[in-house]
Amino acid sequence: MTRIDLPLQPNGSKVQWSYLPRQFNEQSIEEILGRLRAFVPTGDFTLGKPVREFEDRFARLIGTRHAIGVNSGTDALKLSLKALGVGPGDEVVTAANTFIATIGAIAENFARPALVDCTDNFCMDVSKVEAAITPRTKAIMPVHFAGLPVDLEPVYALARRRGLRVIEDAAHAMGAACQGRRIGSQGDLVAFSFHPNKNLTTIEGGALSFASEAEVERAERLRFHGIRKLPGGGIDVLEHAGKSNLADVSARIGIAQLQKLEQFNARRTALARRYLERLDGASGLRLPVDGPGHAWHLFAPLVDFGAAQLTRARFIEAMHARGIGAGIHYQALHLFQAYRRLGYREGDFPNAETIGERTVTLPLFTQMQDSDVDRVCDALRETIRRAK
């Protein structure tokens, strides 16, 4: 993945920006290496004590009693769907504005993603969910976009009324809160990602939290070949399943990260609010929505490229030329070839399409200084001004 140099100070010192987890400063790297030095000689690498310790600490942090570690956020979604028996002929209602992993997990379970549009805050439009429910609907999958929680109360009220399950895609929402309670503490099934670009990372990994203790035992089997261990060292295989367990090495990294999550998220919030302050009133720009419990995984404003007489590709190229990385989160899913084959067409979800056409993602990582935000904002304004 391309790495972009972002100048920090007039003396020429630099930090490199990409989608890597910039919370890995020198001190945290040494702490992680220390944990690994103590752990590697044990030879306990698969579903050992580090995974259990991480799961326990993670569950306490988010406020749930039941959580398991897996090897990616995508597998957390797939495992949750399989645990609920979602399969051929079923439908799952989710957002048209999210990463492809959300609906890819649904499709890989041979179910159909039933998409709904998003609101101006990029999260799924809860008011449109009921119209997307059919007799084949098995679950609702809201997505907490960029760290901003979906309004969960009406989602769960609808699910109870219609006899449906809820799987929260919380890949962006580690540490986020809804109505004062942590995401994962009050949900049905909640899937988290610890990819390198997330607020908390295990390099690769994820987790799944449960409201029901009865479902945890089966989910633990599903993440490791459907195996149930028997007394005396034997095993039984109760059902076909793959392998998606969290590695013990990743768990060790995660344990170190968990201790710093509050610090990481506080810094991300401060940086995001500086962006909001510095870009307030900027012409042709629609800023992200702040709100209670926001974890600020991404800072993704919308640029009116038409009014600026500028294409997004030219904008990103111009920012790169200034040493500043920019990304795209996300293009509207229903316009990808794979999902057009399901019958979706341009115009089906206008808010998602507008966001998909105009979104840009600006640097947001814990090692940024306030002056870095100022520099990004100045470059953005200048790039748009020069294009006119």
CATH class of the 26-258 domain in this structure: alpha beta
Q: Side-chain half-sphere of 231: how many Cα atoms within 13 Å? A: 0
Q: What is the mean pLDDT of the chain?
A: 90
Can you give the pLDDT at residue 149?
Answer: 97
Can you give the pLDDT at residue 230?
Answer: 92
Length of the chain in residues, anyone? 388
CA dihedral 183, 98, 261, 60 (to 10 degrees): 30
In angstroms, the CA 31 to CA 41 distance is: 17
Which residues of the chain are in CATH 3.40.640.10 domains?
26-258
Report the catalytic residues. 198
In angstroms, the CA 324 to CA 162 distance is: 47
Q: How many CB atoms lie within 10 A of CB 8?
A: 17
pTM of the model: 0.91
Mean pLDDT of 69-97: 97
Mean pLDDT of 98-110: 97
Confidence of residue 5 (pLDDT cuts 50, 70, 90): very low
pLDDT tens column, 285-312: 999 999 999 999 999 999 999 999 999 9
Displacement of CA 87 from its chain's centroid (Å): 24
Q: Which fold has domain 261-387?
A: Aspartate Aminotransferase, domain 1 (3.90.1150)
Which residues of the chain are in CATH 3.90.1150.10 domains?
261-387
In angstroms, the CA 373 to CA 380 distance is: 11
Cβ distance 326 to 362 under 8 Å? Answer: yes
Phi, psi of 16, rounded to the nearest 5 degrees: -95, 130
